[in-house]
Amino acid sequence: SQTIHQWPATLVQPVGSPLSLECTVEGTSNPNLYWYRQAAGRGLQLLFYSVGIGQISSEVPQNLSASRPQDRQFILSSKKLLLSDSGFYLCAWSVQGAGEKLFFGSGTQLSVL
């Protein structure tokens, strides 16, 4: 069966510090991978998605970046965090193809202080 791992569960970082969130999927090949951010009590904002290794589509221009160094690994990074980067970050995957349902990780609560 397929599983998605996302870590860490919580993170407190000072403004200006770097960020690296990692997400890995097991039990499937060539998944579509997604990063979403959720502000408190709000909906999900799509940040990045990837349909293959090295293929990253960015939805929101900001100081975040994403990389997919391996087929089932998706990394969200920042060189310098801003206060506005605080939020609940969710990684998700779907089977290869368009319009498929998403399977979400358990999320990372990021607080930038």
Q: Where does this chain touch another protein (CB under 8 A) — which range of 22-30, 61-69, 76-84, 87-95?
A: 87-95
Closest by Cα among 28, 17, 20, 29 to 82: 17
One symbol per residue from 34 to 53: x for binding another protein (CB under 8 A), - otherwise; what is it? x-x-----xxxxx--x-x--
Q: Counting contacts by CB under 8 A, is residue 106 touching another protein?
A: yes
Is the Cβ of residue 11 or residue 51 nearer to another protein in the bound state? Answer: 51
Q: Judge whether 113 and 14 are in contact, CB under 8 Å.
A: yes
Is the Cβ of residue 14 or residue 97 nearer to another protein in the bound state? Answer: 97
Q: How far is the CB of 92 from another protein (least distance, A)?
A: 8
Is the Cβ of residue 14 or residue 101 nearer to another protein in the bound state? Answer: 101
Q: Judge whether 66 and 35 are in contact, CB under 8 Å.
A: yes
